[in-house]
Amino acid sequence: MHWQLHYLETAMSSTRLSTPNPAVTDDCCAQLAEHEPAYRKYLLDRGNVKSYVRSCEAAVAHLSTWMVQAHKSFADIGEQLVAEFAQEHLPRCKCATPARRREDVMSALRHLLVVLRDAGAIAPEAQDTTPVGEELRRFDRHMTQVQGLAARTRENAVRMVGRLLRGQFADGAVEFGAITPEHVRGFFAEQAKLCKAPTSLRSVVSGLRLYFRWHSMLGDRVHALAGAISPPAYWQQSSLPRSLAPAEVEQLVAALGQPGPSMRRADAMVRCALDLGLRIGEVARLSLDDIDWHTGTITLRRTKGRREDVMPLPAATGQAIAAYLCNERPTTLHRMVFASHKTPRERCICAALVGKTIREAYSRAGLPHTRAHLLRHTMASRLLAGGSSLKEVADVLRHRSLNTTLVYAKLDSRRLVAVALPWPGTSAPTVGSRA
């Protein structure tokens, strides 16, 4: 007996809903049962354990039961049906099934939609067909094909411009000329209320300016609209970059190598950030193909600067990565260095996991810090203390502009003492002397 039919009979025996149409019952259960092997294979191929696969199958069976009771057909399956199931049925569900937790059920049903669409059994995911949706797709194509912007930058711009356009035109036609500076100022003021810090408004400014520049290329007048944006004052060099003190670095390194689950992965991530100055996103995207063990180099691709950089791989970092690969990394189909240790293992890790892992390493070392980016600043400080020039630091950190690296000049006490003015009534300090 198929799992859909089993859960259907169990649920029907414990509920008092109206008797379903037998034709609808056969349609839902029989057609879903046809895709049961493909659904199970899809989940197992992505590294999911059998217990998780069983819970997903139970969630699909739960959906099948509800579809029969609600007189839904197989052709109705899609995002709208799943949302209706989650919002209307799950909160007051009394079905005799363990698949009731909303997060688990939604995850299982998202997998189901992927499998059914790959098989061509249901319609493709519907696009936003409103004029605003079409405008945003054209804007996104421009940013991709003409400007070559990164996906995250495009997503942020589309989100911000979408808010502006939907607030102005709703589902009606988009008339760019109807947008006035007053509309832009009002929208900007609304977004300012949602931002926790003034610097967060920079993403709003960036998205709107990209949109206005695009329309400027199309021949529209945008000067008044661009002038209506008032980004908050931001002094990039106003503060010192925080970094770990030498004693704290030793404390952090001494805390590495502890036994426990995922500890080798944590050690390798910390080493990548501390010894190579990698951003957390670069650590997450590091591939096995990026490491050349024979030459002792590592190639950084898909970086913030959108270029490839070859760097020497320090021995300690290479040893930490090798220990993780040989002794702890689970078997996966993807080629990323760092894999998820939870199912589904085929899902690549995100930058947030790297940041969390580094914060936990701080905690194990007894350090009060929370920002993973401190390790990148620490590397720059250590290079300067070792006598490297700002140009060399910029090369190692892969900054496109030397201005980005200038903030570290304030940490170079070895050179700053040479240009320091004497305190009134004292003689000028000499290099190597104590202040």
Helix 351-365 × helix 263-276 angle, to 10°: 100
CATH top class, domain 246-414: mainly alpha
pLDDT at 8 (0 to 100): 41
**pLDDT per position as a tens digit, 133-150:** 999 999 999 999 988 887
Residue 158: pLDDT over 70: yes
Q: How confident is the model at residue 344 (pLDDT cuts 50, 70, 90)?
A: confident
Residue appearing with tokens 């669409």: 117
Helix spans in 70-180 (H): 79-84, 102-118, 131-145, 151-169
Record: fold of 131-227: DNA polymerase; domain 1 (1.10.150)
Exposed (0-12), middle (13-18) or buried (19+): which is 19, by Cβ within 10 Å? exposed
pLDDT at 387 (0 to 100): 75
Q: Are 284 and 349 in contact (CB under 8 A)?
A: yes
E strands in 126-206? none
Structure tokens given for 187: 């929208």
CA–CA gap between residue 325 and residue 217 (Å, rounded): 50
Measure the CA angle with vertex 189, ends 187 and 190; round to 5°. Answer: 65
Most confident of 42-56, 232-246, 294-308: 42-56
pLDDT at 415 (0 to 100): 57
pLDDT at 242 (0 to 100): 80
Please state the rounded mean pLDDT for residues 25-48.
81
CA–CA gap between residue 147 and residue 217 (Å, rounded): 12
Classify the C-alpha dihedral 130-133-139-144 as positive or negative.
negative
CA–CA gap between residue 273 and residue 280 (Å, rounded): 7
**pLDDT per position as a tens digit, 121-130:** 888 877 778 9
Most confident of 39-53, 229-243, 392-406, 413-427: 39-53
Q: Are strands 297-300 and 291-292 parallel, antiparallel or unpaired?
A: antiparallel
**pLDDT per position as a tens digit, 190-222:** 888 887 766 778 888 899 999 999 999 999 988
Dihedrals phi, psi of 311, to nearest 5 degrees: -125, 150
CA–CA gap between residue 88 and residue 33 (Å, rounded): 25
Domain ranges of the chain: 3-118, 131-227, 246-414
Helix spans in 78-130 (H): 79-84, 102-118
Q: How many CB atoms lie within 10 A of CB 12?
A: 18
Residues 6+ apart with CB under 8 A from 267: 256, 257, 320, 323, 324
Kind plus residue range of the DSSP H or E element containing 311:
strand 309-312
pLDDT at 100 (0 to 100): 66
Most confident of 28-37, 116-125, 225-234, 250-259: 250-259
pLDDT at 410 (0 to 100): 61
Kind plus residue range of the DSSP H or E element containing 297:
strand 297-300
**pLDDT per position as a tens digit, 275-331:** 998 999 999 999 999 999 999 999 988 666 566 888 899 999 999 999 999 999 988
Q: What is the pTM of this model?
A: 0.64
Half-sphere exposure of 145 (CA within 13 A, CB side): 7
